[in-house]
Amino acid sequence: MFPLRKGPSGPKASGSGAAIAPFSFEKFVDPATLIPLADQDGSVSAPYSTMQGAIDDNLGVPITLALVGTLYPEDVVVPVGTPVFINSNFSVVQSLTLDAGAVCFLTAGILQIGVLTLGVGANFISVGSVVVLGATTIGAGASFQSFVVASLNGPAVMGTASQIISLGGFTFGSISDAPGASGSALVLAGPSSAESGIAVNSNTVGTITMSMAQIKIVGAEVTGPIVDTGGKIAFEEVRVSGDVTCDELYLRDTSVLSGDYTTTGRVQVLSSNTAAANWNNALAFPLELDAFSNYWIKINGTVLTNPGAKVITSDVVP
């Protein structure tokens, strides 16, 4: 006989439990299971039918959810104090919400999330999984981090001092601040094309609208426009075809295809081709160029609103 214990829908019955004892911290989840709810314990022979049921039944301890590859039509909430690890087999979750301070890790497989919401100070970290997101909201001080592949199909809205960090492959569309938010960090850095052999435009970034943010993008096709009022932007091995507005702007090994560039602080362009862009940099701050970048400014007919501020800093190529 199994002892009675409280489950997501009341006491669990005794006498008809699993033939295989469940692991201590890894629980299997299968929405198509035929095991009665009262007998579900997360073992191989008696998996949970919902992710939420598994979480609610194991509050206060770390838990790994081993998901079968199917649709999970539920709105999953991860509470603070119960770190959740997800091992996905090409699974689709309707929505996932992390309460304030909660933590969730994706450890393997492919996981698609229709709506992702991170509460204040929450952390969502994909360390071994491909993650595909719909609409995403990141609360103040919260962090989304991906180290494999991240695809953001819906808009992302970031709270004050929040973070998006993607250090693998990435496809990001619309990213913006929440009303009144500022000071976030956005780091989208894929492997350099020289090191990986992957084409620079295999990673893409769309529209970004932020305030006083720190933005760094490496190895991507940026269609823009990008507005970071009072913030700093750095591009490396990037192709940019949209307008850019910010305080400070740093380009290295970058191709600027077109657009208007408006800056209020320092601008540094190294080993980059600026094509026929229009540059409007503040008079009090120079447009710093190496000889290579200056050559292409002359060849391409780049328009400089303040040409007297142009400064040739160094010759970084033979």
Is residue 311 one of the residues assigned to a domain?
Answer: no
| Closest-CA residue to 144 (of 163, 159, 158) | 163
pLDDT reported for residue 317? 44
| Closest-CA residue to 164 (of 101, 92, 151) | 151
pLDDT reported for residue 291? 84
Alpha-carbon gap, residue 85 to 109, rounded angstroms? 12
Handedness of CA 293, 294, 296, 300 (dihedral sign): positive
pLDDT (mean) for 140-145: 98
Angle (CA) 148 162 122, round 5°: 75
Is residue 179 one of the residues assigned to a domain?
Answer: yes
Is residue 264 one of the residues assigned to a domain?
Answer: no
pLDDT reported for residue 31? 97
Ranking 52-56, 145-149, 313-317 by mean pLDDT, the lowest is 313-317
Is residue 249 one of the residues assigned to a domain?
Answer: yes
Tokens for 56, please give them: 């609610």
Alpha-carbon gap, residue 299 to 283, rounded angstroms? 23
Is residue 271 one of the residues assigned to a domain?
Answer: no
Is residue 202 one of the residues assigned to a domain?
Answer: yes
Instruction: Output the pTM of the full model.
Output: 0.88
Q: Which residues, 6 or more positions from 176, have their beta carbon under 8 angstroms from its beta carbon?
A: 155, 156, 157, 158, 207, 208, 209, 210
Which tens digit of pLDDT belongs to each residue from 77-121? 999 999 999 999 899 999 999 999 999 999 999 999 999 999 999
Question: Is residue 86 within 8 Å of residue 107, measured between CB atoms?
Answer: yes
Q: Which residues, 6 or more positions from 136, have their beta carbon under 8 angstroms from its beta carbon?
A: 115, 116, 117, 118, 144, 152, 154, 155, 156, 157
Angle (CA) 261 267 270, round 5°: 105
Judged by DSSP in three states, 219 sits in strand
Peptide bond into 225 cis (omega under 30): yes
Question: Is residue 100 within 8 Å of residue 81, measured between CB atoms?
Answer: no
Phi and psi at residue 53, to the nearest 5°: -60, -40
Is residue 263 one of the residues assigned to a domain?
Answer: no
pLDDT reported for residue 9? 43
Is residue 130 one of the residues assigned to a domain?
Answer: yes
Alpha-carbon gap, residue 243 to 250, rounded angstroms? 15
- Provide the residue range defining the domain that includes 109: 21-258
Please state the domain count of the chain: 1
